[in-house]
Amino acid sequence: MSENPPTPTPLSDNPPPLTPLSDNPPSLTPMSENPPPPSSPPCPSSPTLSTCSWTSSLLLPTPYDISTMPSDHNGLATLLERKSALFNALQELADEKAKIAEERSKLTEEKAQLAQEKEAYEEVQKIDKRHRRSVQAFEARLVGEEIDMKAKKRSSAPSRKYETPEVWELVAGGMAVATVATCIIPVGFMVGTMIRLQFVACRGASVWVLGLFGL
């Protein structure tokens, strides 16, 4: 509707002449058994024309309209088919949602299992690191002990450098000579003493014999 209402037309001072009644009245047309459908109320020429047509489309059909629609059965069948197709689509959508939920649950379980495996792997790595450190410490201790043993051998080497077979032979020879000398000296001393005693005895006997004869 326009914003400015139409201006009313002023009444004329001379009214129109009256038409005389005819002697023959108009004939009446008999009504048909099927009355014409009631016309929808006219819509004003305004931007709301589409709204009026949409409102008129929502009106229930009259019995005349229903009786004059031969394709109602086909439309109802099509509607039922669409409804069945929609129901099937909704059922498929529900199945897809259930599958997605199941896959999501499996994925969650796999993530939890992977987390456990990762934790176990990290624990094994920690144990391996500790084992490597202990092995390295043991190897370092063995190397230190080996170095200490070599140092001790080097420090004791001067006292043992004379412990050779030749030295042992010389020592054995000296001990043999000392043993022989220890055994021979007393025997020689005894023999010498006996010889000396015999000499003294022989000298005394000779002097007595010579004195006996007056020599």
**Mean pLDDT computed over every residue of the chain:** 70
**Sequence-separated (6 or more) residues with CB below 8 Å from residue 44:** 1
Grade residue 47 by pLDDT with cuts at 50, 70 and 90: very low
pLDDT tens per residue across span 160-213: 555 566 667 777 777 777 776 666 666 666 777 778 777 777 777 777 777 777
Residue ranges of domains in the chain: 73-161, 162-215
pTM: 0.30
pLDDT of residue 94: 94
Token couple for 153: 């051998």
Amino acid at 168: W
Residue 188 confidence (pLDDT): 67
Residues 115 and 109: their CA atoms lie apart, in Å, by 10
Which residues are CB-contacts of 102 (< 8 A; sequence separation ≥ 6)?
none
Q: Can you tell me the distance from the alpha carbon of 47 to that of 50, in angstroms, rounded to the nearest whole number?
A: 7
DSSP letters of the chain?
Answer: --SSPPPPPPPPSSPPPPPPPPSSPPPPPPPPSSPPPPPPPPPPSSTTHHHHHHHHHTSPPPHHHHHT-TTHHHHHHHHHHHHHHHHHHHHHHHHHHHHHHHHHHHHHHHHHHHHHHHHHHHHHHHHHHHHHHHHHHHHHHHHHHHHHHHHHHHHHHHHHTT-SHHHHHHHHHHHHHHHHHHHHHHHHHHHHHHHHHHHHHHHHHHHHHHHHTT-
